[in-house]
Amino acid sequence: MIDVDSLKDQFVGAEFDAREFVLDPGKLVAVARAVGETRPEYLEPDHPDFQATPAFIGSLAAARHLPIDFPALGGIPMDGGKAVFCIAPVRPGVRLTGRSHLHDIYDKSGRSGRMLFIVSRMEIFDPDERHVATSDARMVVRERPQS
């Protein structure tokens, strides 16, 4: 059985990845259209407030999903969804830095058995080190049933 408290003590809060991004205006528009956005600040690159949609920010990914020394958990991993928090507009053509750390690790038990939830958080910063957005990605690992 996985010791959640031990994993939290060892891994939560420590940065394990940093990655740079420069957003392309054409890709921002394509994603905005794909998700049904209608506001001009997401669809028109010439708009004075043109910026990335939360859906686009949620597509930014770290090079690693977990710290390099994170233990193999066995079980069946699944995508547990994403949550994006926009703090300031995320603009195209600006060099952004995404820094990732494990934000939380917790477990729940249900009819299908115990499930472990791992929340990886990427905080996104502009060139002036202003925090502009946060993207949480949840991974769910269903423990394999004991034989």
Residues 102-134 have pLDDT tens digits of 999 999 988 878 899 999 999 999 999 999 999
pTM attached to this predicted model: 0.89
Per domain, the residue ranges of the chain are 4-23+62-142
Rounded to whole angstroms, the Cα distance separating 10 from 7 reads 5
Contact 103, 135 (CB under 8 A): no
CATH domain 4-23+62-142 topology? Thiol Ester Dehydrase; Chain A (3.10.129)
Q: What is the mean pLDDT of the chain?
A: 93
Structure confidence at residue 11 as a pLDDT band (50, 70, 90): very high
